[in-house]
Each structure stands twice: as structure tokens, then as C-alpha cells.
Structure 1
Amino acid sequence: MKKIIIPLLLILCFTTTQAQEGQHRHLSLDESIDIAKEKSYTMLKLKQSAKQAEYDLQSATRSLKTNIDLTLGLPTYSDRVSEWRDSLGVSYYSEKQLEISGDLTVRQPLPTDGSLYITNTLSSIDDMRRDVRSTYARTRIGLEQPLDAFYGYNRIRSTLKRAKLAHERSQKSLKREELNLVYNVSSAYYNLLQLQESSNIALLNLERQTEAYEMSKNKYAAGLIREVDALQMEVDLAEAQSNYDMSLLNQEASVNRFKELLGINLNDSITLENKLDYNVVIVDPEIAVNYALKNRLEIREQDIQLELQKLSIKQQKSQRIIKASINAHFEQIGYDQGFKRNFFSSTGKSYRNYKDRPANYGVGFTISIPILDWGENRSRVRAAESQLKELEYSKIETERSIETEVMNLVANLNSNLKRLQLLEKNVNVAEKSFEITRQRYSDGDINSESLALERNRLNTAYTSRLSAYINYQLSIADLMRKTFYDFENNREIE
């Protein structure tokens, strides 16, 4: 038995350890964005919000379809004392009744804010004290139509329009937040990449400093340099080691934040693709502004607010207009009452009476005329119209703000591109200069201070080039989310 249990425990421990260790991920920027779109809690919440708006739209659309309702009373029993008043006075008697009933209603809403309906009712009451059964059957076909829906406020159409606008707004909000997520992931990705590259630069600096330290150590042993120069190299080596250790700590903290943003397991280990290639993107400011004005959600939101406000004004005006409605119905009724009859017999007799009895008809025209409200509703309408005007001004202001913002983004993008191209040349010059300086130090032409100065200049060139690369890539991502257009691939964001 022990021979079986021990291997099982070892397998379980190994599996648990593997689960705790997580998996290793080598991520590019596109892969990071795809993971965030699928797993980040921000996108998960936004997708649920979009589903809610979609269901609201379905609800508003399906409210125009036929509704069928069935109500059954199977059975309803009552035992009470009833009162009877006549010329002789008041008398009381006990009453026991057993009722079975059913009501089926089919209603079809109309786009004109009215409805057609058919109601079938069957009710059978057994008076157990007198042993008398009463059965009642009725079918009614009717029309209800408010006439003010044709010239005033149509509730059904307005509800449907509001639902469509809300659905459109939620879809655009989802797309905007998706682009914001792309930018945030890009920013976090490049921030982590910067720390990762900074660690590589710090490691490269440590290796160079170690080489310089060994070189100065040998020179000092040979009596070629002063002791102070050898000690300075030792201090520089310790500083390089400290800088490398700190860069690793900063990188680890940034890695955890990046995992949280992507929504992946914190036990997973990740490394980023460190290719610093880029495409030269030249953007026409006028084209960028046109795409922004066409696609930005803020402008469409203003349009939606204007449409909703117009509906509110129309609804407010309808509060004090002349209202009229037409109600019409066709009704067939059957009735039976008899002594010691069962349910089926009484129902059959009521059905025969239903067929023989003449039909009932009814039609009505109702009109409601507002007389006086001392201008209350007019003031409410004017307040709503003032709010509409305010929204129109807000839209103009938003358009101007977007135009200025996008023009600044394009200028910043072009500036970052020029800076990146310039700093790439600086890196090439700094690398060649450092190799020459290192060789001169090896030949004994310069001291350690000159070598350290050139090494710092090279590290600064690497760091500046990396920062310029990141700023350029983030400028492209920022412009994409502000215009809904991918200028790098020349395609509109759907």
C-alpha cells in the first residue's frame, strides 16, 4: 500500500508546484494587447455593459410583438357572511362559493401607440349554499388608439429610439475603451520594456566596468597608473553593480503591474520582445482632424444628447396639448344559471347561449382639453429648449477642442519621429567614440576619468534613444485612439 501512496503523493506535490510556478510567456506588444482584450477586468465589465444595452434594445423591439397572457383561478373558494338590505331592514346570511375561472388575453401593440386585443373569459361559480351554478363566457375584440400619438408624443416609437441610441452609445463606448486599453497596455508595455532595456544597459555597463577594473588592476600592479585611479575604478565597479541590482528590482515591480493590467496569473513569468524596429509614419494634420471629427465618440454622444433632448421637449409639450382617443370593441357573451348543475353541463349551456345571444358593440371617442395651468408647462418647455441650446454650444466647443488636441498630437508625433532619428545617429557616434576611448585607455593615453566620462555618454545615448523610441510609439497609439484611425497600417478602426 505504501508503495502506491508515496508515488501518488510525489505526483501531487509536483503538480501543485507546477501550478504555483505558472507558465512562461514571451510577449510582443500585439500579443499583450490581445490578452488584455480577452482577460482584463476593464474589458470584461465593458462587454457586460454592452450586452445590457443590447438586451434593452431587444426588449424595446420585442415590445412591439404580440403578447399573450393566461390567468387561471383553479379554484377560488370563499366562505363568508353577507349582508342583505331591503324595506324590512337588514338581514345576514352565510355564503359559500367555489369559483373556477380562466382569462386568455392576446394583445398586439401598434406602431401608432395603440393596441388591438382579444380577450376570452370563462367563469363558473358554484353557490354551495343554494346549490346553484352560474357560468359566464365572454369574447371581446377591441381597439385602443390615442389620436394624439399622431401629432404629439408617440411613446412606443420614442422608447424604441431611446433604446437604439443607448445601444449605439454603448457600442461606441466599448470601442473607445478598447482603444484606451490598447494605449494603456502599450504604455505599460513600453515602460516595462524601458526598464528591461535599462537592465540590459546596466548589465552591459557592469561588464564594461568589470573589464575596465581588471585592466586598471593590472596596470596598477605594473606601476603604470596611480593607486587613486585603481581605487576609483573599484568604486565605479561597485556603483555599476548597485545600479544593475536596482534596475532588476524596478523591473520586477513593473512586471507585476503589467500582469495585473493584462489579467494574467501573477505566478506567470514574462519577457518582452525587445525589437526596437519602427515604421516611419507621416500624418497630415488636416486628414487626422477629419477622422477625429468623424469618429470621436464625444461628438456622437453630443448628437445623441441632442436627439434625446428633442424627444424630451416633445414629451413635455404633449403634457398640455389636446388629447383624444378612440376605443372600440365587439363582444359576444354567454350566460347560464341553474339548479344542481355540474361544471360541464353549465359550461355547455352557456356556450349555446353564447352563440344565440346577439353581439354587443361599443365605440367611444374621448377628448381632453387643457384649459389653464398659468404657463407652468410652457416654462418647462422653454427650460428644456434652453438646455437644448446649451447642448448645441457644447457640441461646437467639443469639436474645436478635438481639433486643437489632434493637431497638437500630430505635431508631437512628427517631433518625436525627428528626435528618434537624430538620437539613433547619436548612438552610432557614441559607440564609435567609446571604442576609440577604450582603446586609448588600454594604450595608456588617457586616464580612468576620461573613460568613465565616455562610458556615461554612451549610456546616456542608449537611454535617450530608448525614451525617444517609446515616446514615438506611444504618440502613434495615442493618435490612433483619438482619431479611430490606424495611420501606421492606413486603415480605419471598425
Structure 2
Amino acid sequence: MKKVILLSLLFIGLSQVSFSQQKRVLTLEEVIQLAKENSRSAKRAETQRTLGYWSYNVYKSQLKPQLRLQGTLPNYTNRSIPVTQNDGSVVFRKVNQNNSDLSLGLEQVLPWTNTTVSFETNLARFDDFDGDNKYYQGDPVGISITQPLFNVNPFKWDSKIQPLEYEQSKRSYVQSMEQASQTAANLFFRLLVEQKNLQIALQNAQANDTVFKVEQGRYNIGTSTEDQLLQTELDLLNSESDAQQAQLEVQSLSLELRNFIGLTENVDLELIAPMEVPVFDIDYETALQYAKDNRAEYLDFQLDRLQAERNVASARATRFNVSISASYGYNSAQRDELNEVYQSSNVAAGSQFRLSFNLPILDGGRNKARMNQAYEQQKLTEFTIDQNMITFDQEIANAVRNFQQIIEQIELAKKSEEIALKRFEITNGRYLAGKVDILTLTNARTSKDSAIRNYVAALQQYWDAYYELRTLTLYDFKDDVLLYNELLEYDPKTDSVIERAKK
């Protein structure tokens, strides 16, 4: 009996720890909302979404005109430098000079041809400090065109790839938020299961204490045996031990859930299980179509194909490297004063044309090997995509089938719980009336506890499967709502979501 009293006091002390703290009552919807607002998973998803936004804006900025100011101010030299003479000899002369130049240009890329067109004006000044001389020279206006030939046009491929990558980043954000919801729901029900275990253990401890006292009374009047009394005492000890272990599990899972949803205060969480379990039909073909239309992974297949095609085109173009550049404009002769540079009498038209090429005559089979490598990599990519598409379809099929089976299991688990509870009430009353033995009561209690746990576990499976379907399809079949809207875009400059016009 001393052991019983000692363990009872320890159990009571451990149980009262939670009562000294403030309680926070949370529903499943509230936990999920907190996870979306505060969890590290949500913050990481928001950062990745912003990164995708700026990456796409970097691409778009490359297609716009660029106004550039560049130059060297100053380029001063005060030392002896080698000067080559007419006869080829070298004489070192002391110079004290400064060369400065400044250029202002407007540059525009024509993405459909990979042509670079630029307009610019240049000005240069030379100072000879030893001779006290200075000169100016400038190109008031000029136009330049650069055109690579046979090379891969990066803008052509970027126009296909960059919008897909941006779209992928937006879909990934929604998927990540749904994954955070799924994780929050999983943690919610794990804690709920342990809270239910703790509740069952406390009830069993109280019930076993009552049974132990009843058996003591019966033993004292000779209507019960010593082994039955010892069994009830052992049941009491075990139930108290179970309650202590359940309390520790509740504390551990409460901390894990609080950390995930961003609750910094040290409070006891009291979870309220969803009262209703929505029942709705899901068609596999419909779910698969939503997944194809909304999932970021489905864009991976398109991006992998485009990247493989780009690698083949790049391997084909690497053999030849030819570029044409031409310029035309007005330039001035050397003048002593700055304003003379831009006088009409001092400027004349000038032009330049250049054809640069690098054509391998004998490459040891390098180009052929490079092309074959790109073709085989493309074939491997196609095989991988085909296999991933099969896995993609199977994942949706398994999720739909699993959800439908869970709905049936929930109905059975709920009915089993009701029957087990009613049976235990009847058996408990008959035991107190002395009509059944302790083993029959223990069996009824075990069945009752198992049925309660099975129903809570079925709830956990249902909501986990529900949020898995939302993550896989980005569609809420319960409320018939599309979770992803391609027209919605996040604007980090205003920290808001805006809806762009549909093209």
C-alpha cells in the first residue's frame, strides 16, 4: 500500500503541473491558420516566392533599354615608360600625363534575333602636364550593331523557360503552404491522440482505484480471492504509470506543436477535435486534371524538356562562332577646346565593320561527341519524364483511393466506439452489482479504450488524407474551391497580392 500511495502522490503532483499554467483552447482550423502565419515552413515559402518574383524581374529587365554611363576618370601616369623608336629600339621617357574618357550610351537587345543595338556619344581628354598641353576628342553620336551568327539565341529560350519558372515559383508557394497545413494537422492530431490517451488513463486510474476498494471490501467479507485483489492492485499501478507516461507525451508534443505554429508563451494546449467529418466524392480523373493544371511538379516536365532541347541546340551551335559588328557615326578631330569638338566644321562621318569567326577545321571528333552526348541526354530526360509522369498519376490515384477507404473506416470506427462505450457502461454496472467478474470488466474497459483510440486515429487519417489531396491537386474538394489562381501575383514592394488582367 505504501507503493500505491507513493505512486498516487507522484501522479497527482505531475498532473497538477499543467494546472498551474494558462490554457489555450485551439481548433484544427486555428492551428492551421497559425501555422500559415508563423511557421518556419511558411516563412521559407514566402521567401522563395519573393525570390521567384525578383528572378523573373531580372529576366524582364534584360529586354528593356539600358542607359549606361561609363568611363575612366582619371587615368593618371607620372613615371618612365618604354617608347618604341622608328628603328625598333626602346627608350624610356618620363611622362606626366592624364587620359580621361567618358561615354553615354543607350543599348537595346532585340530578343527575336539576339541583336544588340546601341546609340552612344563619347568624349576623351588628354593632359600633358610637363608640356602644359591638353586636347579633346569626341564622337558626338554613333550607332553600333552586333549580331552573333549560328550561336544559340539565349533570349529565345529564356522567353520559354523564365515564365514557366516564375509560374512554378507561384505554384510552389501555394503547395508549401498546403504542406504546412498538412504538417500542422498531423501535429494537431498527434497531440490530440495523446491527450485522449491521458484522459483515458486518468479515467482508468480512477476506475481502478474504485475497483480496488470494492475488491478489498469483498475480500474482507470472503466473497473475493487474494489473487483477484492483487490483480486489481496491479491494474491500479499500471493505470497510474500509463497516466504518468501519457502526461509526459502530452508535454513533449505540446512543445513540438507550439514551436511549429509559433506560440512563444508557455501555455497548455487544449485541442478541440473537429465535430463534423465532411463526406464527399472525388473522381480520379478530375483530381488528376487539377493536379496537372496546378501542381508545380508538372511544370518540371516541361522545363526539363526545354532544357534538354536547349542543350542540343547549344551543342549544335558550339561548332561555329561567327559574329558581325558594325558602327556608323560622327567623330571629331583633336581640338584644344571642348566646345570645338561639337562644331559642325570639325566632325565627319565614320564607320567600322568587323567579321569575327572561329571555325574548327579538325577537332578530333569533339563536335560529334558533343552532339551525341546532348542527344543521349535528351533521350534520358524523356525516359525520366515518362517515368515521373506515371508516378505522378499513381500518386493521385493512391491518394483518392486512400481517402475513400478512410471515409468508410471512420463510419465503422464511430459505430464501434458507440457500441464499446455502451457495453462498458452495462458491464461496469453489472460488476458493481456483483454479477460479472473482474476479468469481464477489464475486457470491456480494454475494448472501450481501443475503440476510442481507433476513432481518434481514424480522424487523424481522414484529415491527413484531406490535406494531402489539397497539396497534390491545389484544390479543395470539400468546399469546391481552387486554391491556386494564376492571375494572383505577390508584389513585395507593397507586400500585397494583386490580380493582373487576364491575357
Shared fold per TM-score greater than 0.5: yes
SS, match of residue 235 in structure 1: helix
Question: Is the 8 Å Cα contact of residues 324 and 368 (structure 1) preserved in structure 2?
Answer: no
Answer yes or no: is 1:462 the counterpart of 2:452. Answer: yes
**Residue number in structure 2 paired with 1:317:** 316
Q: In structure 2, what is the Cα distance between the partners aligned to 1:125 and 1:410?
A: 78
Q: In structure 2, what is the Cα distance between the partners aligned to 1:400 and 1:469?
A: 30
SS, match of residue 104 in structure 2: strand
**Residue number in structure 2 paired with 1:106:** 106
For residue 306 of structure 1, report the CA deviation from its aligned partner.
0.4
SS, match of residue 436 in structure 2: coil
Q: In structure 1, what is the Cα distance between the partners aligned to 2:435 and 2:22?
A: 52
Q: In structure 1, what is the Cα distance between the partners aligned to 2:58 and 2:383?
A: 34
Alignment deviations for residues 353-390 of structure 1 (CA, whole Å, 9 cap, x no partner): x5443322344566665544354223312321222222
Of 74-83 and 177-186, more deviation after overlay is shown by: 74-83
**Residue number in structure 2 paired with 1:447:** 437
Partner amino acid, structure 2, of 1:133: K
SS, match of residue 359 in structure 1: strand
Alignment deviations for residues 463-493 of structure 1 (CA, whole Å, 9 cap, x no partner): 2222222222222222332333322222333
For residue 312 of structure 1, report the CA deviation from its aligned partner.
1.8
* Cα 1:58–1:198 shift into 2, 3 Å: same
* Cα 1:143–1:74 shift into 2, 3 Å: closer
Aligned equivalent of 1:392, options 379, 382, 387? 382
* Cα 1:322–1:197 shift into 2, 3 Å: same
For residue 141 of structure 1, report the CA deviation from its aligned partner.
1.6
Alignment of 1:25-424 (within 5 A): 25-71=24-70, 73-82=72-81, 83=83, 85-86=85-86, 93-111=93-111, 112-146=113-147, 148=149, 153-221=152-220, 223-265=222-264, 267-321=266-320, 323=322, 325-337=324-336, 346-352=337-343, 355-364=345-354, 371-424=361-414
Alignment deviations for residues 321-346 of structure 1 (CA, whole Å, 9 cap, x no partner): 57452513212314214xxxxxxxx2
Which has the larger Rg? Answer: 1
Q: In structure 2, what is the Cα distance between the partners aligned to 1:383 and 1:130?
A: 64
**Residue number in structure 2 paired with 1:433:** 423
Partner amino acid, structure 1, of 2:254: V
**Residue number in structure 1 paired with 2:14:** none
* Cα 1:412–1:165 shift into 2, 3 Å: closer
* Cα 1:442–1:321 shift into 2, 3 Å: same
* Cα 1:100–1:382 shift into 2, 3 Å: closer
Partner amino acid, structure 2, of 1:472: Y
Question: Is the 8 Å Cα contact of residues 201 and 243 (structure 2) preserved in structure 1?
Answer: yes
Partner amino acid, structure 2, of 1:135: Y
Partner amino acid, structure 2, of 1:97: Q
Question: Is the 8 Å Cα contact of residues 216 and 233 (structure 1) preserved in structure 2?
Answer: yes
For residue 292 of structure 1, report the CA deviation from its aligned partner.
3.3
Question: Is the 8 Å Cα contact of residues 80 and 96 (structure 1) preserved in structure 2?
Answer: yes
SS, match of residue 271 in structure 1: strand
Q: In structure 2, what is the Cα distance between the partners aligned to 1:110 and 1:389?
A: 32
Partner amino acid, structure 2, of 1:256: L
Of 227-236 and 452-461, more deviation after overlay is shown by: 227-236
* Cα 1:331–1:176 shift into 2, 3 Å: same
Question: Is the 8 Å Cα contact of residues 417 and 472 (structure 1) preserved in structure 2?
Answer: yes
Partner amino acid, structure 2, of 1:446: V
Q: In structure 1, what is the Cα distance between the partners aligned to 2:225 and 2:314?
A: 93
* Cα 1:356–1:296 shift into 2, 3 Å: closer
Q: In structure 2, what is the Cα distance between the partners aligned to 1:286 and 1:102?
A: 65
* Cα 1:89–1:328 shift into 2, 3 Å: closer
Q: In structure 2, what is the Cα distance between the partners aligned to 1:45 and 1:56?
A: 16
Question: Is the 8 Å Cα contact of residues 293 and 399 (structure 1) preserved in structure 2?
Answer: no
Partner amino acid, structure 2, of 1:96: N
Q: In structure 2, what is the Cα distance between the partners aligned to 1:234 and 1:23?
A: 35
For residue 163 of structure 1, report the CA deviation from its aligned partner.
3.1
For residue 298 of structure 1, report the CA deviation from its aligned partner.
3.0
Of 132-141 and 308-317, more deviation after overlay is shown by: 132-141
Question: Is the 8 Å Cα contact of residues 57 and 160 (structure 1) preserved in structure 2?
Answer: no
For residue 193 of structure 1, report the CA deviation from its aligned partner.
0.8
* Cα 1:22–1:48 shift into 2, 3 Å: farther
Structure 1 regions of 5+ residues with no counterpart? Answer: 1-20, 338-345
Question: Is the 8 Å Cα contact of residues 28 and 273 (structure 2) preserved in structure 1?
Answer: no
SS, match of residue 320 in structure 1: coil
Structure 2 regions of 5+ residues with no counterpart? Answer: 1-19, 485-503
Partner amino acid, structure 2, of 1:465: Y
Question: Is the 8 Å Cα contact of residues 78 and 97 (structure 1) preserved in structure 2?
Answer: yes
For residue 120 of structure 1, report the CA deviation from its aligned partner.
2.2
User: How many aligned positions are there?
Assistant: 463
* Cα 1:360–1:488 shift into 2, 3 Å: same
For residue 164 of structure 1, report the CA deviation from its aligned partner.
2.9
Q: In structure 2, what is the Cα distance between the partners aligned to 1:472 and 1:404?
A: 20
Question: Is the 8 Å Cα contact of residues 147 and 325 (structure 1) preserved in structure 2?
Answer: yes
Alignment deviations for residues 11-39 of structure 1 (CA, whole Å, 9 cap, x no partner): xxxxxxxxxx9975322222222222222
For residue 244 of structure 1, report the CA deviation from its aligned partner.
1.3
For residue 307 of structure 1, report the CA deviation from its aligned partner.
0.9
Question: Is the 8 Å Cα contact of residues 28 and 185 (structure 2) preserved in structure 1?
Answer: yes
Question: Is the 8 Å Cα contact of residues 312 and 374 (structure 2) preserved in structure 1?
Answer: yes
Q: In structure 2, what is the Cα distance between the partners aligned to 1:87 and 1:420?
A: 102
* Cα 1:249–1:400 shift into 2, 3 Å: same
For residue 347 of structure 1, report the CA deviation from its aligned partner.
1.4
For residue 454 of structure 1, report the CA deviation from its aligned partner.
1.5
Alignment deviations for residues 60-90 of structure 1 (CA, whole Å, 9 cap, x no partner): 2111222223235554432233547357987
CA RMSD for the aligned pairs? 2.9
Question: Is the 8 Å Cα contact of residues 22 and 268 (structure 2) preserved in structure 1?
Answer: yes
SS, match of residue 276 in structure 2: coil
Question: Is the 8 Å Cα contact of residues 183 and 477 (structure 1) preserved in structure 2?
Answer: yes
Identity %: 22
**Residue number in structure 1 paired with 2:4:** none
Alignment deviations for residues 105-161 of structure 1 (CA, whole Å, 9 cap, x no partner): 332222232222233222232322222222212224223231637xx5212333454
